[in-house]
Structure 1
Amino acid sequence: MHPAQTASALPTMEKGASVAARKTALRERMRRLRLDQPPGLARARSLEAQRRLMDAPCWRNARSVALYVALKGELSTDSLLDAAWKSGRAVWLPRVRPREPGRMEFVACAGPGQLRPGPFGLREPEDGLPGLGPEEAGMSFRPDLLVLPGLAFDRRGGRLGFGGGYYDRFLDNMPACPRVGLCFAFQIIRNLPLEQWDQRVRYLCTEEQFLCL
């Protein structure tokens, strides 16, 4: 069965289940679906999704982009990072604030040589590079395009993250900025269980389509 069919066929939880419980169950399902992909198929889908994003006007017109280095199982961002650096765009990457649980900052990064191993299996900008936190969002930190990871999205722009709240806390203080959710097609579901602090995206990009919501 195709992963998209698998996701849509998953049983719905009881109506009385809390939003938190529904989120937890959905995260587990999406992690399993991602890891169940054959590696070659995941690579092919990642390349196609990145190509679609690079063909989109919001990417072509952006002189500065906030990206991320993909974790194992996530849709790869290697082609996006390589293209952004080669084109001379300003590239911002997230870095966890070790003494501030649940908070991160964005760092201007000139290339892969400025990355080092970080928590949760991430590759992050090295410690010596200055970072900008949510207090600078919309001022010193004003990317033309922000590309977000996620475990699931819906067609209303809803996003389900990994549960740490890093992006939700950061973006809560950020003025309007084009936001793209980057994911595999099977990660888009009909309706996400959302809470008032969950941040939304304006676009979705998968290996199958680029959506303006």
Structure 2
Amino acid sequence: MTKQEIREKILNMRRGLTSKYIEDESAKIYERLTESGIFENIKSVLSYSDFDNEVKTAALTGWMMFRGMRLYLPCVRKKEMFAADIKSAGLELSKFGIAQPKFAEASFLEPGELDMVIVPGIAFDRTGHRIGFGCGYYDDYLKKTAKAKKIALAYDFQVIDFIPAEAHDVRMDMIITPDGIIG
């Protein structure tokens, strides 16, 4: 299958999820992630605001902030993504309908200063390849985050056998699912 065919198939599956399934599976991922030990020595994290039945991140956001981590959310302006401090600005909806800090009010962190990036996606394979919405924001941004651990959150059905990767695609270091940790 092509990337677009995979994207459409998995998105259709994801859009058909019940709110109970999303809550239950997100809770399992949260538990697996927070008990994994991968947050040791992590001080700054770029996470994401979930939308369109993605793995929920609210509990994780609260957990990270309670532990004193500096938390950032993606903020898209024109064709570029930035890491905006979640505490620095009120939220607004991006052109994609995703909550993000107001660009004009936000303070930003350079990509190279992040310790971890929690990455959303539509599909992943066991070697860490990812399919997003196809805009390239994350791949472009992740290339600038050399030292940051790249951690994807996914429902089990989002992990498939093979994704046809391209040269510009950035691999995930780990994929956290309800059933396990890959990577």
TM-score by length of 2: 0.92
TM superposition shift of 1:86: 2.0
Which residue of structure 1 aligns with residue 92 of structure 2? 116
Which residue of structure 1 aligns with residue 63 of structure 2? 83
Q: Equivalent residues in 2 for 1:1-213 (5 A)?
A: 13=1, 22-97=2-77, 100-101=78-79, 103-110=80-87, 114-127=90-103, 128-132=105-109, 136-138=110-112, 142-211=113-182, 213=183
TM superposition shift of 1:60: 4.0
- Secondary structure at the counterpart of residue 37 of structure 1: coil
TM superposition shift of 1:43: 1.0
Q: Which amino acid aligns with 1:208?
A: D
CA distance, structure 1, for counterparts of residue 164 and residue 23 of structure 2: 29
- 1:19-50: CA deviations, max 9, x gaps? xxx11111110111111222211110011111
Which residue of structure 2 aligns with residue 4 of structure 1? none
Q: Which amino acid aligns with 1:182?
A: L
1:58–1:145 contact (8 Å) kept in structure 2: no
Residue segments in structure 1 that go unaligned for 5+ positions in a row: 1-12, 14-21
TM-score by length of 1: 0.80
| Percent of aligned positions that are identical | 30
Q: Which amino acid aligns with 1:119?
A: K
Q: Which amino acid aligns with 2:160?
A: I
Q: How many residues are aligned here?
A: 182
CA distance, structure 2, for counterparts of residue 137 and residue 126 of structure 1: 18
2:139–2:169 contact (8 Å) kept in structure 1: yes
Runs of 4+ in 1 over 6 A off after TM superposition: none
TM superposition shift of 1:173: 2.7
Which residue of structure 2 aligns with residue 10 of structure 1? none
